A and B are shown apart, each in its own frame.
Chain A
């Protein structure tokens, strides 16, 4: 099959870019650990309230400046929904759903996860700036989807 000279250059440039993109993503993911949230832990969605750590949702100190934030998501609420986090703390956020699929997004940050019944999802984030962040559900879950909200306050 005949390939025009300019087309060869164009495709070589494009495939080269592709290779660079994929290498950047691959190195960032597998060498630097910037993986998407993929906790493979399962949970019985109807027994969330009895299963630790979700039987006592909220912020738990786990080490020097390290915290675990356990949040139960259900239609149409986050529990808890008012959270204070010390500035600079490294927070591991665990979420699970008691009913349908929800989203867990802290607007304006990279904290963004799908919350599916039967699975725990998890993501670690260090909050470096003081201020107030909005938590919201970004996956359609029913009539009250757009009123699901909460706040994270990062304080000194």
Chain B
């Protein structure tokens, strides 16, 4: 690819590494909270010192769902943009650090109010449960910090475009920019509910809150959030994995098209999280179900591109037969193996997603632990294993070290441990959910109801899975610490593959941001305007705040 530097600038590397450190500290603490939850729900364990299950649950959700992901993604994208579009200017790097510290201070604030028991409202913080204002303020800082970093990336991209007129931007930069645009558009929803509704209400400036509006603004953000997690994994699949196995990107243009389609169809879909609530007409729920399902198209394009890359590489090595190419893949390389296992788990994960988003099937699984099982396949396996796989080259690249054979072997074991633990935990969550077991609940037999007693063996299986997963977390922390501080010094490659065929013309046409943003906004307006006006016009009296924990 044109004019790229091969190595991330040393000063940019520091910025990226700082993000990764916070991400892995969040993994350690959030993972411990997760282990404790599965133990409590087995019915065999009580939390010591009067710690509430729901405090632990809030900690787990916020640290892993919001902090680990956001910090890892922004750190990875800083590195990817610096690697493919050249070192940052001092200004861009300065604002990158401002973003980092804003997010870190916000995280510390949020964690303080959760751990002191003033915000057991879970990571969805549904009103009218009312947390301490400091909890909302902390989360606001996390989001504002991510915006600052997003604008730093945009500024760097704009400079690259200016210096390279008439050229398509490097693929990884293009993808990072798309993901940050998606993030900016969707976080406007959560920012609106926090700044206009939740903060004034928790500070006592306003007395009452419109529940449905706040839920709708939350889910306007809540589903695109999962694509904000997923797209960096796709960046690694599309651009990094082909290089790791020694192949080429299947098609540069199709990769860009898939990302644009994700931008269009990840946002106007929040109602599929609200299918079972009053206040939204079935017609508008169905409209958003249709828009939700369209995301299947770029997902299938991605699946095709991945396996086409694998197969054409295998065939170029002389593989024979329908599946002969499978044998040529580098199974012993953790940089490939971890993301590949993640891809495999995305097949049941995606199928479960189609079930959740379906008008009537949701009736069976809504708010059951099935849903928890679903996103532990998609986010906690597909995305997280891909991130682990990326950390195995990204951290040594940034820290100027190399991954030893022993560490690589440990990383392969880590991936296997993760796959086994998740099969136990997520599998039993799916089964228990189909039988009706609820999500986000402490251990309960519901007055020894025969139905609830049936769920307990599955909950014990979840604890077994959770324990295996916690061992997986310890292993990954050992590897990451080694790669950051103790591994032998040396050069590690930041793998960026080339496209199989140059497609500059179409690739350039893909950067019509005014048009893409216009379509995105138009789709959002179609999906939300009428029901939203209706929610405000036909609103019930608002709710005052409750602290019920």
Taking Cβ atoms with an 8 Å cutoff, the residues of A that contact B are 1-4, 6-7, 10-11, 14-15, 17-18, 21-22, 25-26, 28-30, 34-46, 75, 99-101, 103, 105, 107-108, 110, 112-114, 116-122, 132-134, 136-147, 149, 151
Contact = CB atoms under 8 A, between A and B. Distances in A.
A134 B453 CA distance: 11
Contacts of A35: 282, 359
Contacts of A3: 254
Interface stretch (B18-26, B329-337, B517-525, B541-549): B541-549
A143 to B, nearest CB: 5
Nearest to A137: B438
Interface stretch (B88-96, B122-130, B229-237, B396-404): B122-130
B540 A119 contact: yes
Nearest to B437: A107
A21 B548 contact: no
Contacts of A46: 541
Interface in B498-549: 501, 503, 506, 538-543, 546, 548-549
Contact of A119 (B212, B437, B444, B503): B212
Contacts of B444: 146-147, 149
12 contacts: A7-B308, A18-B293, A30-B286, A34-B360, A36-B282, A37-B278, A41-B278, A99-B543, A99-B548, A107-B436, A118-B539, A145-B54
Contacts of B282: 29, 35-36, 38
Nearest to A140: B440
The main secondary structure of chain B at its interface with chain A is loop
Contact of B211 (A4, A43, A117, A138): A117
B94 to A, nearest CB: 39
B211 A25 contact: no
Given A139-B440, A149-B444, 17 more contacts: A7-B301, A10-B304, A14-B296, A15-B297, A22-B290, A35-B359, A36-B276, A36-B362, A38-B285, A44-B540, A99-B128, A100-B546, A116-B215, A118-B541, A119-B540, A134-B449, A145-B441
B286 A108 contact: no
Given A25-B358, A38-B282, A114-B276, A103 B290 contact: no
Interface stretch (B103-111, B364-372, B459-467): B364-372
B51 interface: no
Contact of B446 (A103, A122, A134): A134
Contacts of B367: 103, 105, 112, 114, 138-139
B253 interface: yes
A42 B280 CA distance: 12
A10 B307 CA distance: 12
Interface string B287-298: 001100110110
Contact of B300 (A1, A11, A42, A151): A11
Contacts of B360: 25, 28-29, 34, 36, 110
B354 interface: yes
Nearest to B301: A11
A10 B298 CA distance: 12
A112 to B, nearest CB: 5
B275 A36 contact: yes
Interface in B335-367: 354, 358-360, 362-364, 366-367
Interface in B417-459: 435-444, 446-447, 449-452
Interface in B276-325: 276-282, 285-286, 289-290, 293-294, 296-297, 300-301, 304, 308
A22 B292 CA distance: 11
Given A114-B277, A116-B278, A116-B279, A151 B449 contact: yes
Contacts of B362: 36
Contacts of A39: 278
A103 B274 CA distance: 12
B168 interface: no
Contacts of B128: 99-101, 117
A25 B359 contact: yes
Residue of B277, B281, B368, B542 with highest tally of chain A CB at under 10 A: B277
A116 B300 contact: no
Nearest to B303: A10
Given A36-B282, A36-B359, A110 B541 contact: no
A45 B278 contact: no
A99 B274 CA distance: 19
A140 B54 contact: yes
Given A14-B297, A22-B290, A119 B279 contact: yes
B548 A143 contact: yes
Contacts of B251: 1-2
Contact of A140 (B122, B358, B451, B542): B122
Given A2-B251, A40-B281, A112 B294 contact: no
B278 A105 contact: no
Q: From B257, B360, B549, name the one whose CB has the most chain A CB atoms within 10 angstroms.
A: B360
Contact of B541 (A45, A116, A140, A143): A45
A129 B442 CA distance: 30
A75 B546 contact: yes
A108 B211 contact: no
